[in-house]
């Protein structure tokens, strides 16, 4: 077999094995990170106090969350510096742009005359 072909096959095999090893390493790291952070969330959940039932239950909590969301949205709207976009003013066409447009128009005119 041609030595160049053999070398290229070895290089391909080596590079593919490096790619798959890197993929396996990343998958292992993601799995380990998931386990670590899941353990942290479980410990935080055990340390958090249990919510006490209030008057109105779940409905009261939803109404309170909606009121907070409206208050935050109104506050952000007051602080917003956004303004409506105005279209740009028409500018004067430069000589280069005028020349290019003229050339395009003459080329289009020549192509339409050829078709007839």
Q: Are 62 and 56 in contact (CB under 8 A)?
A: no
Q: Are 58 and 64 in contact (CB under 8 A)?
A: no
Write down the number of H helices and E strands in the chain. 3, 0
Q: Are 90 and 84 in contact (CB under 8 A)?
A: no
Tens digit of each residue's pLDDT (9 = 90 or more) over 97-106 = 888 888 988 8
Residue 113, pLDDT score? 61
Distance CA 71, CA 19 (A): 51
Tens digit of each residue's pLDDT (9 = 90 or more) over 18-70 = 999 999 999 999 999 988 887 766 666 666 555 555 555 677 888 888 889 99
Domain ranges of the chain: 1-48
User: Which tokens in the block code for residue 22?
Assistant: 């890197």
User: Which tokens in the block code for residue 101?
Assistant: 């447009």
Residue 30, pLDDT score? 94
Q: Between residues 54 and 71, which one has the greater pLDDT?
A: 71
Q: CB under 8 Å, gap of 24 or more: what pairs does 102-108 form? A: none
Residue 81, pLDDT score? 73
Output the furthest CA–CA distance in the chain (Å, rounded): 86
Does pLDDT of 78 surpass 70?
yes
Q: Give the SS3 label for residue 84.
A: coil
């Amino acid at each position: 077999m041609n030595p160049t072909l053999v070398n290229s096959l070895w290089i391909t095999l080596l590079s593919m094995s490096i790619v798959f090893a890197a993929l396996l390493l990343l998958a292992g790291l993601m799995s380990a990170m998931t386990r670590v952070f899941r353990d942290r969330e479980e410990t935080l959940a055990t340390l958090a106090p249990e919510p006490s039932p209030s008057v109105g239950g779940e409905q009261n909590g939803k109404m309170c969350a909606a009121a907070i969301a409206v208050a935050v949205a109104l506050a952000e709207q007051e602080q917003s510096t956004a303004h409506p976009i105005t279209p740009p003013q028409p500018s004067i066409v430069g000589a280069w742009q005028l020349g290019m447009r003229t050339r395009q128009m003459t080329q289009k005119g020549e192509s339409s005359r050829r078709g007839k």
